[in-house]
Chain A
Amino acid sequence: MKVLSKDKLSTALNKLSDSAEVFVPMQKGKQSGYFTWKSFEEGQDELMLEALNVYQSPKNAVFPQTERIYGIASQGVEVNIDKTYEDTSANIIFGARGCDVKGIMAMDLAFLTKGYEDSLYKARRSANTIIANACYEPGPNCFCNAMEVNCVEPAGADVILHDVGDGYGWEVKSDKGEAVTALLADILEEKEVKLPAIKPFIQNVDYSGVAEKLKDMFDHPLWDKLAEPCVNCGMCTYVCPSCYCFDIQVKMWGEQGYRFRTWDSCMFEEYSREAGGGNPRGASKERFRQRFLHKLQFFKERYGTPLCTGCGRCMIVCPTDINIVRIIDAVKEAEINA
């Protein structure tokens, strides 16, 4: 198997960064997330390839927190779209865990299927290569195995790294993977490696039948109890590797400006509030229910897979200790009175 020796890691990242923006998990000041290798500051930032999940997922590489759609020039009755934006420059996500790869697979379904292709997402994603990092030792909040993710062989990865101690086994999975492998031809070595055995999951989650059961639980009283602690802060949607809802807004300075899109959250009251004041999800509970039904039922119904990838981030960041695993358990245990 090809192996990337850990002492050649920076050389490899430098090499890849010659032709692409390379997003790598790192601790940057107080933030941890996927930042570009070019922004890495020796001695200050810390590479986090060994950590299971950094705070922010790599979704910003293909779906930035804000991105411009088009430029506007407006003068009196005249108005023009003077520029449209599409970022087709190469980008690589290096070290994404299986749950985060699944997040991008889910966004592919949302943005690229069902009639319309989102041109902004398509541009970035077409130029994107995913180098995943296989997980052999699930963490205390991991339950990707219950959410249709294979954490050792994540579907959608172009290359899969396998940590074998002093190096990473380098498993090529696609043509895009071949292309980045070719860039590292001088760095990768051919070696005999022994892949580690996967350790058992600590969380024991059973999602089977949950999407189907939820169909009859929209008005179930359990939502009142489960939603009660929620303060609708939106942290769960911010750190989620698969939350993709967005808002479209405009920024003008006098006669010039641009329309852009930005991450949005179903936790916020304005998200679904209509101009006339009506809001189908005006109450906190209604928004809470929407989020979990979207994750566990609606997305599965529409696209065939859940929108939760089992990464566990939302359980860690929630200020009121709302836990999607306990919600899945509560749904499993709930009695439905006809």
Chain B
Amino acid sequence: MPDKDHKCTCSEKPLVPNIVEVIDIIDRTPDVKSFFVKNPDGNGVPFQVAPGQCGMVSHLPIGEAMISCTWQENQEYLEFAIKRVGLLTDELHQIEIGQKIGVRGPYGNGFPVNDCKGKDMVFIAGGIGLAPLRSFIKYCFKNRQDYGKITIIYGSRSKADLCFKEELFELWPQEPNTEVFVTIDNAEAEWDGHVGFVPSYLEEINPAPAGAIAVVCGPPIMIKFVLQSLEKMGYNDDQVITTLEMRMKCGIGKCGRCNIGSEFICLDGPVYYLKQLRDLPPEW
């Protein structure tokens, strides 16, 4: 949420990362891996995150990128689910357990978990867009009594590209008052679930807007059509939350490039209510 008077939460040298050790790597899809990191002495983490916050991940000899950091109940390690899309992430995908990397953060404002208390939650994600929402989903399940019905609608290009399969198919559907809907873009031999794009599936499922909050993250084109669908379904702009992505270098609102209007996404975002985005230039 935009907060014009940030309290400084950084170290004395905000651009210098903390060195951490990669303690585990899990293949989520053919091009998404989760990296788990801890302080090199094995004790704890350099910083704690709220659901939706990000961390700058440095493979020191190569580069840095802003990555959503998964919220954990016991903040014993940090998890970053990273899709292989470019130079840095390509190199990251080649590292092995034991590698030292850098992290700095936490950056940005997380999801408004308190504002959403008492609401029915509708999480809508596409592809790697589930990674930031997963933090909020996990938070809701840890504080189950604070939230109403939980509906999770998730899609990806193919079955192989579905992230966090164990949670999607085994853990989350067992939670009380929870429904999980999964779709893939095109039919496949070993898939007997729903086929189609997320926006049309969302309209088909049609979760009621009364007392609900929709949280959306995915590729820009998906977000665009999901927002249109939600509007059609009767969701107001103050019932829709999304989390944005822009290229970032500093993470602290200085280097310039992640602005939309006078907002810096790294510092003032990345989480916004749709009604806040409507006041910004349409560059999101």
Contact = CB atoms under 8 A, between A and B. Distances in A.
B256 A245 contact: yes
B100 A294 contact: no
A69 B15 CA distance: 7
Contacts of B259: 290, 294, 298
Chain B interface main SS type: loop
A79 B21 CA distance: 10
A6 interface: no
A43 B256 CA distance: 41
A274 B61 contact: no
B13 interface: yes
A65 to B, nearest CB: 15
A115 B253 contact: yes
A280 B284 contact: yes
Contact of B249 (A72, A248, A252, A298): A248
A246 B88 contact: no
Contact of B4 (A74, A114, A286): A114
B135 interface: no
Interface stretch (A184-192, A195-203, A265-273): A265-273
Given A81-B17, A84-B16, A247-B249, A278 B254 contact: no
Given A79-B60, A250-B62, A275-B86, A115 B6 contact: yes
Given A119-B13, A274-B247, A111 B254 contact: yes
Contact of A281 (B14, B61, B64, B283): B283
A213 interface: no
Nearest to B62: A250
A79 B60 CA distance: 7
Given A250-B62, A257-B61, A272 B246 contact: yes
A83 to B, nearest CB: 10
A248 to B, nearest CB: 5
A271 B246 CA distance: 11
Interface string A239-265: 000001111111010000101010010
Contact of A250 (B60, B100, B247, B252): B60
A12 interface: no
Given A248-B64, A248-B250, A273-B247, A117 B220 contact: no
A335 B85 CA distance: 43
A257 B63 CA distance: 12
Interface residues of A, number: 53
Contacts of A117: 8, 10, 14
A259 B59 CA distance: 11
Interface in A68-87: 69-70, 72, 74, 77-81, 84, 86
A110 interface: yes
Contact of A114 (B220, B250, B253): B253
A247 B248 CA distance: 9
A213 to B, nearest CB: 14
21 contacts: A70-B16, A78-B100, A80-B19, A114-B253, A116-B10, A116-B267, A118-B15, A218-B282, A247-B249, A248-B249, A248-B250, A259-B60, A264-B256, A272-B257, A275-B88, A280-B283, A290-B259, A293-B281, A297-B262, A301-B261, A301-B262
Interface of A: 69-70, 72, 74, 77-81, 84, 86, 110-111, 114-120, 218-219, 244-250, 252, 257, 259, 261, 264, 266, 271-276, 278, 280-281, 286, 290, 293-294, 297-299, 301-302
